[in-house]
Structure formats: structure tokens, C-alpha cells
Chain A
Amino acid sequence: MLDAGFLIRWLTTAAALVEREADRLTELDSPIGDADHGANLRRGFTAVTAALAKEAPATPRAVLQLAGRQLISTVGGASGPLYGTLLRGTGKALGDAAEVSEAEFAAALRAGVEAVMRLGGAAPGDKTMVDALLPAVDALDAGFGAARDAAERGAEATVPLQARKGRASYLGERSVGHQDPGATSAALLIAALADSQEQGEDSTS
């Protein structure tokens, strides 16, 4: 079962991955974006970990609500409202239970991804975070590790695509040949899910 503690660990792990990969994300965002994805997400996730350390919400939903709100408030770029909506949409679908099963979490994360797709209007193949998130939720039935692999493959598969959303879409064919920074950071978020589960198993063994 997954409780508030697990979700706090997930987002804290995600923050550490974002911190480690921030320069790479910004590098990916240089040729096709405005070269601020790493810095924006680092600012957002720093605010998330600070808020979670201060408040320690009691339910999975409350963790996701608080974190989503921080991302919307502090990121300053499109990834803020998009990731904020992912977390809040997931939280909303979880309801107010103190613990949820992995299957319930998987269904809720799918609802969160659908909320992101509604907000940004992106479909699979548009070269966005959706190209990592959707394969991840499709693979979640097979576990968090499978979702991590699927998200990573999904991010890599954005290389040959032409961007149809965001600033990169103005570049037309010149957006081809670059891995999408949003799909890359989305894969980090999913990797953090698997990592935090593995850490949990280590600490209980």
C-alpha cells in the first residue's frame, strides 16, 4: 500500500533527480526551447521539497495537492501548470484515503495524465511530456519498474518527431532530431516512482 510517506519520498526523489539532471534538461531545451527547462523545474521542485518538509500532509491526495500548487506557483514556464495539473489531477482521483493500492495509484495517475492532455491539448506524437507519460501509465500494471522503462523509451522516441505544441512547434521541421525536454523530465518523474519504491523495499528488508 502507498501512503503519504511514500508520495513524499517519490517527490523528494524526483527533486533530487531534477537537481542532478537540470543541466541536461536545459541543454535539451536549448536548440528547440527557451533553455530554461532545467532551471525552471529545479526552482519548482526545490519549492515542493521545502513545502513538504514544512507541512508533511497526512494523505496521498494532500501531498499531491500541495506539491502541484507549488509547481504552478513557482516554475514560471509551461511545465509548472502542466506538472502541477498532473499531480493535482492524480490527487483528486485518489480521494481522501490514507493509503491506496498500487492499482488505485495507477488509475489515478492515468487520470492525472488525462488532465494534462486536456490542459495542454497535446496528443501522443506531438513531442511533449505526454509521449513519456502515456506509455508509463500503460505499463503501470506491470509495476513501477516497467513504467520507468516505458517512459524512458517514450522520451527517446521523441527524437525523430516534429513538435506540434509549445515554442518548439514554431521551428517546424527543425525540431526534428532533438529529444523533447518535457518528455525527458517526465521520464525522470516516473523513474523517481520506481526508485522510491525500491528504496522503500530496501529500508524494510
Chain B
Amino acid sequence: MSERKLVGIVLVSHSATVAESVADLARGLVGDGTDVPVAAAGGTEDGRFGTSAALITRAAAEVDQGAGVAVLADLGSAVLTVKALLEDDELPHDIRLLDAPFVEGAIAAAVTAATGADLTAVEAAAGEAYAYRKV
């Protein structure tokens, strides 16, 4: 495989199960053998519903290959905690919270990241998922 660096993806949900399942789904739908760095940061460290700053920070470090990190979050504290961490520079330097739907955005981000696209392209692809109308 090539040595190219891929944009990392962090999925922050109130539920560990949701974050891990969406991460699995996104990895599975990339499908061309590319190992996209996707990490889940769901629930609190002691297994409750909610958000853990420590899990987010750890997940971001884990997927950071040097090409930037894209974060998707579901609701309330997940969004607010990521924003508060960004404000305090506690996360990798080149990291962005994407304005995107959680599941659809994660898949768009992973598929785009797998092509070796940069963080801006990953962000745009995830954001476009809002435009996909279902009815």
C-alpha cells in the first residue's frame, strides 16, 4: 500500500453503541481495501449515555495521521464538548467539527477520505449529505 496520509474521522455520539456501529458501517462502506482511520468516541468513560472529553481527545490522537481530523457529533453535549475542546486547543492542530448529519455524513466523510482527499473535501462531502432528501 501507499504511504499516503488520510484524513482521520472521529465519531462522537451520546451512545457508545451508536458511535461504534456507525464507525463499522462507514469502514464497511468504504469497501476498496483502504483502511480509513475512523475512531468512535461514544458515551461516557464509565459507560453511561453522554459525552467524554477524554474519549474524544484519545480518539482524535488515534486517527491523526497528519492529514487532518474530521469530527462528526450527534447532539447537545457531543457537539458542545467538541466545540469547547476546540476553543481550548486541546485537540490535534488540524481538526474540524463538521456540520453534517451523523450517519450519512460519516459515510460520505469516510468514502471521501479513502480517496486521499484533503480535510476541506471531506468536510464538503459530509455537508452535502444534508442535501439528500428522502421523500
Contact = CB atoms under 8 A, between A and B. Distances in A.
B51 A88 contact: no
A72 B52 contact: no
B83 A80 contact: no
Contact of A76 (B51, B84, B88): B51
Interface residues of B, number: 17
Nearest to A120: B80
A81 B88 contact: no
B74 to A, nearest CB: 12
A119 B83 contact: yes
Interface string A94-121: 0000000000000000000000000110
B80 A78 contact: yes
B29 interface: no
B87 A76 contact: no
A81 B83 contact: yes
Given A73-B54, A76-B77, A77-B50, A85 B44 contact: no
B53 A77 contact: no
Interface residues of A, number: 20
B85 interface: yes
A77 B77 contact: yes
Interface in B39-54: 44, 48-54
B87 A78 contact: no
A57 interface: no
Contacts of B84: 72, 81, 84-85, 119
Contacts of B53: 72-73, 80
Contacts of A78: 76-77, 80
Interface in A39-97: 40, 69, 72-73, 75-78, 80-82, 84-85, 88
Contacts of A124: none
Interface string B48-78: 1111111000000000000000000000110
Interface in A161-203: 166-167
A186 to B, nearest CB: 15
B77 A88 contact: no
Contacts of A88: 87-88
23 contacts: A72-B53, A73-B54, A75-B77, A76-B44, A76-B50, A76-B52, A76-B77, A77-B76, A77-B77, A78-B76, A78-B77, A78-B80, A80-B53, A81-B80, A81-B81, A81-B83, A81-B84, A82-B80, A85-B87, A119-B83, A119-B84, A166-B76, A167-B76
Interface of B: 44, 48-54, 76-77, 80-81, 83-85, 87-88
Interface of A: 34, 36, 40, 69, 72-73, 75-78, 80-82, 84-85, 88, 119-120, 166-167
